[in-house]
């Protein structure tokens, strides 16, 4: 069981419906191992193909150790380096994070700026005001509008408080950095690096449906499924080309209903409220960290703006589902994805400018 209060452990495990599911053949016939463990509020599955069984098993356990270490280090609220940074930020003033956190903050800050603030890891206090940081309970009602407004007035976005030149954070008191929209992706990248360093060439690291795959599954490409956002079916299949990440952000992962309205865990930093018009965003990208952050950014950007934000982030393969079930996708994504829905959906093609 996950002890950390931040990563929404039980909920994540209970859901277990992976946003992307492996669509590979029968495990018994294939020289493949699969190893699963809970981490970062979800179930992580490591699949290794064509590698000596014992060494593969050991490698998968190393990946588990890595995830558990990063889970602790990057929990904003307790336990590791990020929690210590946030504790120091409670007083406000200047703080110089260690090299590893500085590297993450620098990357996150650049993505945040390019997304026009849609992705903003300085949002931690807002996440807490909503109650989405609590692993054990979902909130029952939105916080008072006045408190949201007050909080927005006293919060600065990450690119404004992170001084890249000097590696220093200068933040208003009580700022909380929350890397929840990015850290899982970075952890997946680290896991793939680790597997490669051990000699593994064909593998998938799948963190609750968000994954990076390298190599192939024997004589064919890895094939993965993207989950339907509103039921347990599979919306689409994608074949992986060599080394790619496929991530999905959606309004169905952590949410509560209040007076007929769905409130979920991806917040618009400008309004202080959960995003409204898209139910899911799926991106095929290069590395998992950037792809993870981009999914969150495009959820926030919404209908009108997601193509422009994708362009600013250098993302070309995007599929979004809106509240009417309409699918929008870019031409490069259209070439990659096979829609599996029985009743063919309305599909709109949108160019990334
Ligand atoms: P998931 O981890 O469920 O796949 P995301 O990658 O979109 O979903 O991350 C959501 C988490 O990121 C939230 O639980 C919260 O901690 C944080 N978060 C919410 N809104 C934003 C935002 N606009 N920018 C950055 N982080 C966010
Ligand atoms: Mg994300």
Tell me: the pLDDT tens digits for 242-263? Answer: 999 999 999 999 999 999 999 9
State the chain's mean pLDDT as an integer.
92
Nearest to 156 by CA among 107, 88, 96, 92: 92
Ligand 2 centroid to residue 299 C-alpha, Å: 9
Ligand 2 centroid to residue 31 C-alpha, Å: 32
Q: Is 124 helix (H, G, I), strand (E, B) or coil?
A: helix
Ligand nearest to the CA of 41: 1
Q: Average of pLDDT values for 98-117?
A: 98
Ligand nearest to the CA of 119: 1
Angle at 195 between CA 240 and CA 30, to 5 degrees: 60
Ligand 1 centroid to residue 296 C-alpha, Å: 6
Ligand nearest to the CA of 269: 1
Model confidence over 76-100: pLDDT tens digits? 999 999 999 999 999 888 999 999 9
Tell me what pLDDT residue 28 has.
47
Tell me what pLDDT residue 23 has.
65
Ligand 1 closest atom vs CA 293: 6
The rounded distance, in Å, linking the Cα atoms of 122 and 40 is 19
Q: Are 247 and 295 in contact (CB under 8 A)?
A: yes
Model confidence over 298-321: pLDDT tens digits? 999 999 999 999 999 999 999 999
Bridge partners, 207 (sequence order): 44, 210
Model confidence over 124-139: pLDDT tens digits? 999 999 999 988 899 9
Residue 4 confidence (pLDDT) above 60: no
Nearest Cα residue to atom 23 of ligand 1:
119
The more confident residue out of 205 and 4 is: 205
Residue 12 confidence (pLDDT) above 70: no
The rounded distance, in Å, linking the Cα atoms of 66 and 38 is 12
Residues having CB within 6 Å of any atom of ligand 1: 119-121, 123, 127, 132, 178, 180-181, 184, 210, 249, 253, 265-267, 269, 292, 295-296, 300
Model confidence over 193-227: pLDDT tens digits? 999 999 999 999 999 999 999 999 999 999 999 99
């Amino acid at each position: 069981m996950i002890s950390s209060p931040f990563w929404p452990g039980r909920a994540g495990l209970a859901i277990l419906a992976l946003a992307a599911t492996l669509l590979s053949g029968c495990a018994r016939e294939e020289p493949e191992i699969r190893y699963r463990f809970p981490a970062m509020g979800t179930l992580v599955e490591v699949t290794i193909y064509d590698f000596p069984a014992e060494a593969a098993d050991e490698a998968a356990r190393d990946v588990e150790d890595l995830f558990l270490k990063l889970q602790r280090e990057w929990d904003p609220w307790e336990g590791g380096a990020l929690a210590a940074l946030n504790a120091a930020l409670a007083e406000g003033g200047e703080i110089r994070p260690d090299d590893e956190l500085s590297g993450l903050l620098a990357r996150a800050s650049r993505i945040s700026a390019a997304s026009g603030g849609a992705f903003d890891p300085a949002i931690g206090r807002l996440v807490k005001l909503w109650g989405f940081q609590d692993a054990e309970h979902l909130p029952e009602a939105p916080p008072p509008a006045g408190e949201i407004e007050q909080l927005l007035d006293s919060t600065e976005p990450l690119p404004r408080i992170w001084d890249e030149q000097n590696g220093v954070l200068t933040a208003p008191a009580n700022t909380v950095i929350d890397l929840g929209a990015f850290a899982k992706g970075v952890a997946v990248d680290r896991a793939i690096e680790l597997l490669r360093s051990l000699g593994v060439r064909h593998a998938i690291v799948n963190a609750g449906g968000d994954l990076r795959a390298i190599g192939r599954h024997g004589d064919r490409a890895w094939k993965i499924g993207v989950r339907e956002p509103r039921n347990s079916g599979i919306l689409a299949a994608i074949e992986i080309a060599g080394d790619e990440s496929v991530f999905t952000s959606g309004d169905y992962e952590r949410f509560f209903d209040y007076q007929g309205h769905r409130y979920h865990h991806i917040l618009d930093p400008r309004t202080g409220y959960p995003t409204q018009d898209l139910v899911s965003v799926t991106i095929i990208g290069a590395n998992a960290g950037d792809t993870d952050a981009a999914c969150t950014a495009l959820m926030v950007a919404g209908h009108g703006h997601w193509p422009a934000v994708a362009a600013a982030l250098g993302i070309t393969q995007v599929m979004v589902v809106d509240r009417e079930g309409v699918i929008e996708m870019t031409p490069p994504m259209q070439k990659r994805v096979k829609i599996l829905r029985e009743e063919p959906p309305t599909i709109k093609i949108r160019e990334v400018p």
